Structure 1
Amino acid sequence: MKKLSLYIISCMLVILAACDNDFESEFDLAPDERAAIAVNEFKDALTSSEHGWLTHYYPNPTKLGSFTFHFKFDETGTVNMNWDFSDFSDESKYSVKMFEKPVLIFDTYSKFSKMTDPEIGEPGKGFGGELEFSMTKKSADGDTLYLAERVSGDPMVLVKATAETPAQLREYAKHTKHIERANEQVVVPFYFNLSVEGWDTKVNMVYSGDKIIAFLNYVDNGEAKHELMPINFTHEGFEFHHALVLNGIGARSFKYDEAKNQFDVTDAGVTGTFKYEADCPAHIEGMTDKFFGPQTFGGDAKIVSPKLANLIDGIYPDAAFSYFSTSTYVASWFPCTFNLDFADWNSLKIRVNYNKKTEDIVKMEFLGYEPYWSAPLDDLAYIEGLMSTEKGQAILDIVASPKGWTIVPIELKEYGSSYYLVSNEDPEMYMCFGLTYEDDE
């Protein structure tokens, strides 16, 4: 028994000695030495990729979508970069310094600095991003680096780029144009609807290109929902910031099928498609009162579907059609007008009442015409002559259709909201109030 006890004690002493040796191997270095090792390991990881790193960076995912960057860090403290907005390479000085942990710092102004520039984005705040990142972990194969913003802790994931990455980055723009519907050439119905096997509802998506955000309208358990969803683009299509889950099935990633002009779901085990359709899957309450009720502001619609633009163009012989507008305080001042504005700054003003047909459908009741201050559209007889033609009557039939126009919200705010008006007579005719895309780059 004594021999057994001595044997157990001896084993324990051996184990304790081994643990003590391990402890000493990790902690017998001075704090400055340990910090230097950690900093060098971070720098080695950043410079380890031959073709650099790709990241979809969300500077403020509660308000903005992703800006995609291609970084290539060198050992001299310079990072070369490009992004998806425009093909123009740039560089910044960078450093890795030890604070509570090793931190990557973008030291000089570059494209990436725009994520924090207070003169860009939200006044005084910029896009809400950061320029300092700690590394939280590295994948086992070293192909992915998981970083976190130093202050907020929001993630930035770096994935090893390939030789094809620079060319693929230029593919993002075409998918942006597909879903923001700017300069759209193909005549399709307005509603961009997602159907997924196992869902009992469709999800309509409208896109705000100035903020890289999708707004999703759908019905869940009988309740109409309007949800903000930041997105990032890929060379094949786009991705949601996080999966949209309905009936326990999530959809996040989408690949463009050019032959069918649709985006197919690519998530494993999920089958679904974004298609252009004529049916609105969700009707949002309060839209007519918000945009066309008493003391509501008018605005300009400078994004117009090709079919509707073609219908208007040519009605006025002196200049091309430019955009639509509604009068300020559309339902408070008289007369209310719906305006066809032309490239020579003239305007054909149709007098209407904006009547509430449903919570999200407004009907324009035709009352006549309002002469403009500039010739020749200051002459009522001249206006009536234009609108008595076959083209003029076709325009009036759409504008004042008894079926009205569905209001599809994009971004809803107290001031400066944006929305589409979609013709219920012909859903291939629509216009967007509040967005222009003129300053995307």
Structure 2
Amino acid sequence: MKIKNIYKYLFAAILILHLSACNNNTDAEQLFNQTPTERLNAQKSELSEALLASQFGWKAVYFTDNTVLGGYTHLFKFAQDGTVEMASDFDADTDVYKSEYEIQLGSTVSLTFTTKNRIHLLSESDNYPIPALRAKGYLGDFQFLYYGQENGEIIFKANRNGTEIRFVKATADDWANLSKNLVMEQNVIGSDERPLFRLLETTDGTTTHKFDFAFSEVTRFAESNSIESGYSISYNMGVGYTPTGIVVSPAVEVGGQKLTNFVYNDADGSFTATGTGGVKATIKYSNKPLILTDDYKNFLDAKPQMVLGYIAANLYTAPTTSTLAKSLIDEVNATLPANQKISRVQIYFNSPYGNYVEYRFSGGKPSLYHNFTTSADDTNKTILFTHDSWDNGAAYIPAPAFLKKLDDEFFNPSGLYIKKEAFKITYSNTIYTITSSTSNFRITTYQL
């Protein structure tokens, strides 16, 4: 190649690089030709236009912290005059309330709800669902930092803890059906007509796994752990309600697919999230515990003395005390004078005086004792109480009629499951649950 041709090509290449650099510089200039204030004002206008653009406003399922709490649906209808209409499913009050909002400028653009409304219920420090959240409330916020838009959704992060909140366009049905979320809540809690035991079952199309499932209504949070030896997967998730089911966060991941929306089936009380290729996850009922323990054997004859005590002040509200157990205790209390209530139900095994259930009362009423013998159903892993006698500590007495319905649950001829639990309630005492093998009766006790 001749020298002059080489120079010709080199000159062309340099010219192309120069023009490219000019273009890049132009792009950079366009990107940075605004001052920070101008860029923030542009974002402010962008957010303001977006908030006003949806005919029926916006919907957000706000998971304030999905490691301990569930999701709370909020509906917003913004107006140009700085007011917002808002409704939520935080509690039974799903009415619409008006308050004020501002799009504020700071280091970034934020949407701030400046006067009190439903969203503030999640940020009040003196309003907390469990003792662990004392002085923290529901970990929510009322100032949302603007992070742009994606697929028609407005993306925010809470100023308090950086939790992402996504606004999706609401519909007329979202407003009309918000109260149905609270109807669905009762389906998640579970009817007394349903079994006490639940499981989460997942399948990737070929392999099925089972997990226990425990739901706390006060926190809208569920814990689910594998029941299979050597398979240590757990799914702990916040739960939000919808008119047709639930939404969970974090997602239940099965076969590489993330499942978040579970649809309710009223026929069997199940909730199912369906993916593709046979992938699905189902929360459903079981007529017996997923794992039958041998814990009942520790209470049979010839074992050391054991005392299990239900203490009303601490254990009436325990998540593991069933609605049926509470209703039977309430029925007993309703028959007594106002100052007398069941304060404890203590069950003594292998004491110097034998086996007996002590019904202890407040208000000076003497305890009553139901004496029994024990036997075991090793196939179903239950313990059976067989009636011996009743006494008041001084003499034998007839069976007290006002205790019959509650007492009959302990003397179920099909037996009781006794399970040592891993959790604690208020004190460091070991927790045991006593559960009927045929009804929805379950009472929570301390080992004393």
Task: State the shift of 1:134 in Å.
Answer: 1.6
Q: 1:139 aligns with which of 140, 150, 165?
A: 150
Q: TM-score if structure 1 supplies the norm length? A: 0.75
Aligned to 1:192: 198
Aligned AA (2:150): S
The answer as to whether partners of 1:218 and 1:224 remain within 8 angstroms in 2 is: yes
The answer as to whether partners of 1:298 and 1:329 remain within 8 angstroms in 2 is: no
* Distance in 2 between residues matched to 1:316 and 1:59, nearest whole Å: 39
Task: State the shift of 1:240 in Å.
Answer: 2.4
Determine which structure has more spread, i.e. the larger CA radius of gyration. 2
Matched position secondary structure for 2:177? helix
Task: State the shift of 1:385 in Å.
Answer: 6.3
Aligned to 1:7: 12
The question of 1:59 aligning with 2:74 is answered no
Aligned to 1:298: 311
Aligned to 2:75: 70
Q: How many residue pairs end up in the alignment?
A: 412
Aligned AA (2:199): N
Aligned to 2:99: 92
Q: 1:148 aligns with which of 142, 157, 162?
A: 157
The answer as to whether partners of 2:196 and 2:285 remain within 8 angstroms in 1 is: yes
Residues 162/402 of structure 1: CA separation in 2 closer, same or farther (3 Å cut): closer
Aligned to 1:109: 116
Structure 2 unaligned regions, length at least 5: 299-304
* Distance in 1 between residues matched to 2:138 and 2:116, nearest whole Å: 15
Residues 75/258 of structure 1: CA separation in 2 closer, same or farther (3 Å cut): same
Q: Let me know the Cα RMSD of the aligned residues.
A: 4.7
User: Superposed, which structure 2 residues align to 1:376-395 within 5 Å?
Assistant: 381=397, 383-384=398-399, 386=401, 392=404, 395=407
User: Superposed, which structure 2 residues align to 1:157-196 within 5 Å?
Assistant: 157-181=166-190, 184=191, 187-196=193-202
The question of 1:267 aligning with 2:275 is answered yes
Matched position secondary structure for 1:156? strand
Task: State the shift of 1:40 in Å.
Answer: 1.4
Task: State the shift of 1:159 in Å.
Answer: 1.2
User: Superposed, which structure 2 residues align to 1:362-441 within 5 Å?
Assistant: 368-369=389-390, 371=392, 381=397, 383-384=398-399, 386=401, 392=404, 395-396=407-408, 398-399=410-411, 403-407=415-419, 412-413=424-425, 415=427, 421-424=434-437, 426=438, 428-431=439-442, 433=444
Residues 348/107 of structure 1: CA separation in 2 closer, same or farther (3 Å cut): same
Matched position secondary structure for 1:137? strand
Matched position secondary structure for 2:47? helix
Q: 1:118 aligns with which of 119, 122, 125?
A: 125
The question of 1:280 aligning with 2:289 is answered yes
Task: State the shift of 1:73 in Å.
Answer: 1.9
Matched position secondary structure for 1:202? strand
Task: State the shift of 1:329 in Å.
Answer: 10
The answer as to whether partners of 1:67 and 1:232 remain within 8 angstroms in 2 is: yes
The answer as to whether partners of 2:434 and 2:442 remain within 8 angstroms in 1 is: yes
Aligned to 1:437: none
Task: State the shift of 1:189 in Å.
Answer: 2.4
Aligned AA (1:124): A
Task: State the shift of 1:27 in Å.
Answer: 1.9
Q: 1:81 aligns with which of 56, 63, 86?
A: 86
Q: Percent identical across equivalent pairs?
A: 18
Aligned AA (2:189): E
Task: State the shift of 1:74 in Å.
Answer: 1.9
* Distance in 2 between residues matched to 1:419 and 1:171, nearest whole Å: 36
Aligned to 2:243: 235
* Distance in 2 between residues matched to 1:65 and 1:4, nearest whole Å: 66
* Distance in 2 between residues matched to 1:67 and 1:433, nearest whole Å: 29
The answer as to whether partners of 1:217 and 1:281 remain within 8 angstroms in 2 is: no
The answer as to whether partners of 1:406 and 1:422 remain within 8 angstroms in 2 is: yes
* Distance in 2 between residues matched to 1:236 and 1:45, nearest whole Å: 28
* Distance in 2 between residues matched to 1:64 and 1:236, nearest whole Å: 21
Moved more, 161-170 or 12-21: 12-21
Aligned to 2:302: none
Residues 395/152 of structure 1: CA separation in 2 closer, same or farther (3 Å cut): closer
Aligned to 1:17: 22
Residues 5/314 of structure 1: CA separation in 2 closer, same or farther (3 Å cut): closer
Q: TM-score if structure 2 supplies the norm length? A: 0.74
The answer as to whether partners of 1:386 and 1:392 remain within 8 angstroms in 2 is: yes
Task: State the shift of 1:395 in Å.
Answer: 5.0
Moved more, 104-113 or 279-288: 279-288
The answer as to whether partners of 1:353 and 1:366 remain within 8 angstroms in 2 is: yes
The question of 1:130 aligning with 2:141 is answered yes
The answer as to whether partners of 1:252 and 1:267 remain within 8 angstroms in 2 is: no
Residues 119/370 of structure 1: CA separation in 2 closer, same or farther (3 Å cut): farther
Q: 1:211 aligns with which of 191, 195, 219?
A: 219
Matched position secondary structure for 2:42? helix
Matched position secondary structure for 1:219? coil
* Distance in 2 between residues matched to 1:226 and 1:285, nearest whole Å: 23
* Distance in 2 between residues matched to 1:59 and 1:354, nearest whole Å: 51
* Distance in 2 between residues matched to 1:148 and 1:228, nearest whole Å: 22
